[in-house]
Amino acid sequence: MSDPIERQVVLKGISLCMRGQSDVIKAEAALVRYVEKIPSAEPERKKGHWINAECKDGTIAHKCSECKCLVGYSVSSLAWFNFCPWCGADMRGEK
């Protein structure tokens, strides 16, 4: 899985780590330690699952377990819905 980080934070870290370093190996080690400490710029995505829900007209829809919004597609269509289109919850893991 990708781990997006902010480019400006990394560039600042490179500048700080290289400052005063005459040894390339020490500078590289300092930079690696700095980059490993940078928090991800993307928060963890919620995980949910689809719940069958009956609409007022008797049709079956599917409700997100996280945001409770309805998605009115057939069960076969949900195979390509790996996420909730309303809240972005990941629907691939939990049943």
Of residues 5 and 60, more confidence is placed in 60
Contact between 74 and 57 (Cβ < 8 Å): no
The answer to whether the CB of 58 falls within 8 A of the CB of 48 is no
In 49-63, which positions are buried (b, 16+ CB within 10 angstroms) versus exposed (e)?
A: bbeeeeeeeeeebbb
Q: What would the pLDDT profile of 21-75 be if each residue is shown by its tens digit? A: 667 777 777 777 777 777 776 667 789 988 888 878 887 788 889 999 888 765 5
Question: Residue 1: its pLDDT value, please?
Answer: 45
Q: Assess whether pLDDT exceeds 70 at residue 79.
A: no
Q: What is the pLDDT of residue 5?
A: 67
Q: What does the angle CA 67 – CA 39 – CA 18 come to, to the nearest 5 degrees?
A: 160
